Amino acid sequence: MKIPFLNFEPMHAAVKAEMQLAFEQVYDSYWYVMGKCLTDFERAYSQFSNVEHTIGVSNGLDALHLALKALGVGPGDEVIVPSNTYIATALAASYVGATPVFVEPNPLTYNIDPFNIEKAITAKTKAIIPVHLYGQACEMREIMDIAFKHGIYVVEDNAQAHGATYQNKITGSWGHVNGTSFYPGKNLGALGDGGSVTTNDAILAQRVRVLRNYGSQIKYKNEVIGYNMRLDELQAAFLNVKLKHLKAWTMQRKQIADWYNEALQGVNGLTIPYVHQDATHVYHLYVVKTNRREELQKYLTDRGIGTLIHYPIPPYLQEAYLHLNLSEGNFPVAKELANTCLSLPLWPGMKFEEVYFVAEEIKYFLNEKLHC
Ligand SMILES: Cc1ncc(COP(=O)(O)O)c(C=O)c1O
C-alpha cells in the first residue's frame, strides 16, 4: 500500500463540480480583483471565525505583516514569537523592522508557554504572536491576560488551526488583529496562495484594508505607502466553496487523529500529541516524537509511507537570523522538537485501513526492530 503524506483527491473530488461552477462564475463576470466573491468570502469567514471583520489578503505571511503594520509595530520594537514555528511568524516581525524575540514552548503541547512569554517581556515589547501549532489552540486566555497587564498587542498566527478553540472561543478571534493562511495544504486551502486578517476592531480593519490595496480607499488617491496584497476573486470563490465543507473535513481530521491515538498510545519510544484540557486540536498535522526519527522516517519511506518534518531547522537557527547570535543551547525545547518530531500522513478522506497500515509499520519498527 502506498500512503502519501497528503492526498487532496477525496476532498477535491467531492467539491469538483462546485469549484468548476465557481470558476465559471468568476470567469464570466469579467471582474477578477476586489469584487463580490471577495466580499462574500470575507463575510462568510467572519461568521465562521466569530469576528466583525475579515480582510482577504495575498497569503499568510502578508496577513501577519499587515497586522503588525496596522498596529504600528516598527523599528526598535520587539515581537515575541515561538522558538518552534515556521519562519513566516518571525519574518513578519522583521518585515516591519522589529526584532523577533523567540520564546520556548510548553514541552507537552508544543505551543508557546505563557509563563515564558511573561519572562521575555521588556520595555521594547510591542506584540506577541502566538502560533496555534499543528492545529492546537494556544492558551489564549492566559496570553491575553499577560498582554493586557503589560499593555502589548496580540496577533494570533492562525495559519494551522482554522476552527480550533480555547475555552470554547475560536482561534483568530482572540487577538487584537490576527493573520491566517489559505495555502493549499492548510485545513482551509485555496488553489494557490491566499490569506486573511481577522479583527473585531473597525479602525484596525480599515487600516489593513487600505494597506493591502496600495494605501488607497478611493481609486488613484493614496493615503499611506501601501502594498498590493489582495486576495483575488478566483481564490475567494474557491475558498467560499471549501469553507462550507470545513467543519466536515475537520471532523474527519479528528477521527483520523483518534485512530492514530488509539493505535499508537503506549508504544515504547514514541510520544503522541497531547491536547491541553481547555483547547481543541484540528489536526492540521499529526505530529509524533521519537529519538529514532531519522531511522523511522527512512523505514516508512521504504515502505511507501510519506512523512515530513515540521520543522527541521527552527527560525532562530536559520542563516537569515544569524545576526541575532542565537544557538541551539538557547532553546532546548525547540531543539528537542526539531530533532525528534515527525508528521504522519493525514488528510480528510484518509481511510481507517491506511491509518492502521501506517500505525502498524511504526509499531513494527519501534518494537520489533528495537530487539533485532
Ligand atoms: C505557522 C505559519 N505561519 C505563517 C505561515 C505563512 O503562510 P503563507 O504560506 O500563506 O504565507 C504558515 C504557512 O506556511 C505557517 O505554517
Arithmetic mean of pLDDT, 301-328: 97
Arithmetic mean of pLDDT, 196-214: 98
Q: Assess whether 26 and 104 both reside in one domain.
A: yes
Cell matching residue 369: 526492530
pLDDT band at residue 201 under the 50/70/90 scheme? very high
CA–CA distance, 167 with 171 (Å, rounded to integer): 10
Q: Assess whether 166 and 265 both reside in one domain.
A: no
Final residue before a domain boundary, out of 221, 241, 261: 241
Residue nearest to atom 12 of ligand 1 (CA): 159
> Which ligand 1 atom minimizes the distance to the CA of 157?
3
pLDDT, averaged across the chain: 97
- Does 113 fall in a domain? yes
- Does 212 fall in a domain? yes
Model confidence over 145-164: pLDDT tens digits? Answer: 999 999 999 999 999 999 99
- Does 48 fall in a domain? yes
Q: Assess whether 209 and 353 both reside in one domain.
A: no
Active-site pick, 16, 36, 124, 186:
186
Q: Give, in order, the Cα–Cα distances in Å from 150 to each of 103, 117, 120.
A: 17, 11, 12
> Which ligand 1 atom minimizes the distance to the CA of 131?
1
Q: Assess whether 94 and 219 both reside in one domain.
A: yes
The pLDDT score that the predictor gives to residue 78 is: 99
Arithmetic mean of pLDDT, 362-371: 81
Q: What is the CATH classification number for the domain harbouring 98?
A: 3.40.640.10
Arithmetic mean of pLDDT, 258-272: 97
Q: Assess whether 152 and 38 both reside in one domain.
A: yes
The pLDDT score that the predictor gives to residue 372 is: 47
Q: Give the three-class secondary structure for 73.
A: coil
pLDDT above 70 covers a percentage of the chain that reads 99
CA–CA distance, 22 with 45 (Å, rounded to integer): 17
Q: Assess whether 288 and 194 both reside in one domain.
A: no
CA of 143 to the centre of ligand 1 (A): 21
Arithmetic mean of pLDDT, 199-219: 97
* Ligand 1, CB cutoff 6 Å, lining residues: 59-61, 85-86, 88-89, 131, 157, 159-160, 181, 183, 193, 195
The pLDDT score that the predictor gives to residue 181 is: 99
pLDDT band at residue 328 under the 50/70/90 scheme? confident
pLDDT above 90 covers a percentage of the chain that reads 98
Arithmetic mean of pLDDT, 58-82: 99
Q: What is the DSSP string of 23-47?
A: HHHHHHHT--BSSHHHHHHHHHHHH
pLDDT band at residue 368 under the 50/70/90 scheme? confident
CA of 41 to the centre of ligand 1 (A): 20
Q: Assess whether 164 and 217 both reside in one domain.
A: yes
> Nearest 5°: CA angle at 244, between 241 and 248?
130
Residue nearest to atom 8 of ligand 1 (CA): 60
Domain extent for 228: 8-241
Number of H helices, E strands in the chain: 13, 13
- Does 3 fall in a domain? no
Q: What is the CATH classification number for the domain harbouring 345?
A: 3.90.1150.10
- Provide the domain count of the chain: 2
Q: What is the CA radius of gyration of the chain?
A: 21
CA of 61 to the centre of ligand 1 (A): 6
Final residue before a domain boundary, out of 219, 241, 263: 241
Model confidence over 214-241: pLDDT tens digits? Answer: 999 999 999 999 999 999 999 999 999 9
Final residue before a domain boundary, out of 201, 219, 241: 241
Q: Is 34 left (phi over 0), alpha (psi -120 to 50) or beta?
A: left
> Which ligand 1 atom minimizes the distance to the CA of 85?
1
Q: Assess whether 95 and 135 both reside in one domain.
A: yes
CA of 365 to the centre of ligand 1 (A): 32
- Does 1 fall in a domain? no
Model confidence over 176-194: pLDDT tens digits? Answer: 999 999 999 999 999 999 9
Using most ligand atoms within 8 A of CB, pick from 181, 229, 311 the residue to mutate for ligand 1.
Answer: 181
CA of 241 to the centre of ligand 1 (A): 21
Residue nearest to atom 7 of ligand 1 (CA): 60
Diameter of the chain measured on Cα atoms = 73
- Does 2 fall in a domain? no
Q: Which phi and psi (to 5°) does residue 342 adopt?
A: -145, 125
CA–CA distance, 101 with 119 (Å, rounded to integer): 11
169 among known catalytic residues:
no
Q: Assess whether 219 and 257 both reside in one domain.
A: no
> Which ligand 1 atom minimizes the distance to the CA of 133?
1
The pLDDT score that the predictor gives to residue 136 is: 99
Using most ligand atoms within 8 A of CB, pick from 183, 230, 287, 343 the residue to mutate for ligand 1.
Answer: 183
Q: Assess whether 262 and 210 both reside in one domain.
A: no
CA–CA distance, 290 with 300 (Å, rounded to integer): 14
Q: Assess whether 67 and 88 both reside in one domain.
A: yes
Q: Assess whether 222 and 152 both reside in one domain.
A: yes
CA of 62 to the centre of ligand 1 (A): 9
The pLDDT score that the predictor gives to residue 266 is: 96
Using most ligand atoms within 8 A of CB, pick from 61, 62, 79 the residue to mutate for ligand 1.
Answer: 61
Using most ligand atoms within 8 A of CB, pick from 68, 160, 229, 284 the residue to mutate for ligand 1.
Answer: 160
CA of 293 to the centre of ligand 1 (A): 24
Arithmetic mean of pLDDT, 274-293: 98
Q: Give, in order, the Cα–Cα distances in Å from 321 to each of 98, 160, 369.
A: 13, 23, 39
> Which ligand 1 atom minimizes the distance to the CA of 63?
11
Arithmetic mean of pLDDT, 43-64: 99
The pLDDT score that the predictor gives to residue 369 is: 60
> How much is the pTM?
0.98
The pLDDT score that the predictor gives to residue 154 is: 99
CA–CA distance, 372 with 197 (Å, rounded to integer): 53
Q: Give, in order, the Cα–Cα distances in Å from 161 to each of 110, 138, 145, 180, 253.
A: 14, 10, 21, 9, 12
